[in-house]
């Protein structure tokens, strides 16, 4: 059979050489022998790069639109308020990179130097990287399939000159697919402290979040805890509370009790959050009095405490 098979699972995949579509492919014997399963050299290169990064936190959710990027950005803002803390924020949402806008860094360019790509610095101690910085215009669509997205993520981890960093925060797109598998695989030899999982109160969200938690268990990624966003709304006109996204099955609280995972906090809706994100400002600074700000700060503190208790570099908890 001279044709290249459709549905080639990819030379790196577990199905390489074994899938139904591999029958007759000239590469079949090679793939099936596991030659493609040799470790990607990038994993060691990334491990080296990550030696100057103390703590690595993934921000995940099975569900879209629950506030991952909002939370990642404000975790970065909050940690960087201490000018002695070096913070890096990496946006691996290739199709919908929101971080440049939320951080007020639209239009910024990434520069290359001898030691690699330089992140875009919001402050001296807060560097940001996103595919958004590589587009000619913010409205340009990045229409890439999985393998190309994986390549970009590998470059972000291996080729960016992160320097000495106390906290690397990785903002992810919703789901349990290429981006998530890739970031965990590429950081396999480095040490991910853990994942913060974002949800909203309704069951439709929790259902996807349970899948994300299941993903974390499968890849042996520690879970720092769950953040419930959009947890109630205080009407600014009458000060009474409404549940816009009703927790019909008990919200994140019930799910966390059920799965024995820490609930880091419940953040209420505040229209100033959306406004700050659109304007690229820190909500913590714009609305210091908001109950949402108080909760965010408490969550950030719990994350810092979790990280400070993690095993030192070299004790690898993430399965490769």
Q: Which of residues 83-102 bind its own copies (CB under 8 A)?
A: 94-96, 98, 101-102
**CB-wise, 55 or 74, nearer to its own copies?**
74
**CB-wise, 8 or 294, nearer to its own copies?**
8
Closest distance to its own copies from the beta carbon of 86 (Å) = 26
Among 18, 51, 111, 218, binds its own copies (CB under 8 A): 218
Closest distance to its own copies from the beta carbon of 259 (Å) = 10
Which structure tokens are listed for 220?
């042996």
Tell me the C-alpha distance between 192 and 50, whole Å: 10
Is 104 a residue that touches its own copies (CB under 8 A)?
no
Is 254 a residue that touches its own copies (CB under 8 A)?
no
Q: What is the DSSP string of 139-162?
A: T------HHHHHHHHHHHHHHB--
Site map for its own copies, 107-146, x if CB under 8 A? Answer: -------------------------------xxxxxxxxx
Closest distance to its own copies from the beta carbon of 17 (Å) = 9
Is 10 a residue that touches its own copies (CB under 8 A)?
yes
Which structure tokens are listed for 27?
């590469």
Query: Residues 6 or more apart from 132 whose CB is under 8 A from it?
Result: 91, 97, 98, 99, 100, 101, 106, 138
Per-residue CA distances from 294 to 78, 239, 283, 297 (Å):
11, 18, 11, 5
Sign, CA dihedral 127-130-134-139, equals negative
Beta carbons of 67 and 204 less than 8 angstroms apart: no
Alpha carbon 276 to its chain centroid, in Å, reads 21
Q: Is 8 annotated as a binding residue?
A: yes
Is 245 a residue that touches its own copies (CB under 8 A)?
yes
For β-strands 194-199 and 53-60, DSSP reports them as parallel
Residue count (the chain): 320
**CB-wise, 39 or 311, nearer to its own copies?**
39
Site map for its own copies, 43-72, x if CB under 8 A? Answer: -------------------xxxxx--x---
Is 26 a residue that touches its own copies (CB under 8 A)?
yes
Residues 170-199 that bind its own copies (CB under 8 A): 173-178, 180-181
Is 38 a residue that touches its own copies (CB under 8 A)?
yes
Tell me the C-alpha distance between 117 and 284, whole Å: 29
Per-residue CA distances from 16 to 126, 179, 278 (Å):
41, 20, 44
Nearest CA to 75 among 296, 259, 262, 231?
Answer: 296
Among 4, 84, 260, 312, binds its own copies (CB under 8 A): 4
Among 24, 35, 44, 298, binds its own copies (CB under 8 A): 35
Known binding residues for [4Fe-4S] cluster: 8, 22, 25, 31, 235, 238
- The annotation places the binding site at 8, 22, 25, 31, 62-69, 235, 238
Q: List, as residue ranges, the binding site for ATP.
A: 62-69
């Amino acid at each position: 059979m001279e044709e290249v098979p459709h549905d080639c699972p990819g030379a790196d995949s577990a199905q390489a050489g074994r899938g139904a579509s591999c029958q007759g492919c000239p590469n079949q014997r090679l793939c099936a022998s596991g030659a493609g399963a040799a470790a990607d050299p990038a994993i060691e290169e990334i491990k080296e790069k990550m030696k100057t990064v103390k703590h690595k936190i993934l921000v995940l959710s099975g569900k879209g639109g629950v506030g991952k990027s909002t939370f990642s950005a404000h975790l970065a803002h909050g940690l960087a308020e201490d000018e002695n803390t070096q913070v890096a924020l990496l946006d691996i949402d290739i199709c919908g990179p929101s971080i440049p806008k939320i951080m007020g860094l639209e239009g910024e360019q990434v520069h290359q130097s001898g030691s690699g790509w330089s992140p875009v610095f919001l402050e001296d101690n807060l560097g940001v990287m996103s595919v958004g910085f590589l587009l000619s215009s913010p409205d340009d669509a990045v229409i890439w399939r999985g393998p190309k997205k994986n390549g970009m993520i590998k470059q972000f981890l291996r080729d960016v000159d992160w320097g000495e960093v106390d906290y690397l925060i990785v903002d992810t797109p919703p789901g349990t697919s290429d981006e998530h598998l890739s970031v965990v695989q590429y950081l396999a030899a480095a040490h991910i402290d853990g994942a913060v999982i974002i949800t909203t109160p309704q069951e439709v969200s929790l259902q996807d979040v349970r899948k994300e938690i299941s993903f974390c268990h499968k890849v042996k990624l520690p879970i720092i805890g769950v953040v419930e966003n959009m947890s109630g709304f205080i009407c600014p006109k009458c000060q009474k509370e409404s549940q816009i996204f009703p927790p019909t099955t008990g919200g994140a609280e019930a799910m966390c009790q059920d799965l024995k995972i820490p609930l880091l906090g419940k953040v209420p809706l505040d229209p100033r959050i959306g406004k700050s994100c659109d304007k690229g400002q820190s909500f913590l600074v714009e609305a210091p009095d908001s109950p949402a700000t108080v909760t965010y700060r408490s969550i950030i503190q719990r994350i810092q405490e979790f990280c400070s208790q993690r095993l030192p570099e070299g004790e690898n908890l993430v399965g490769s």
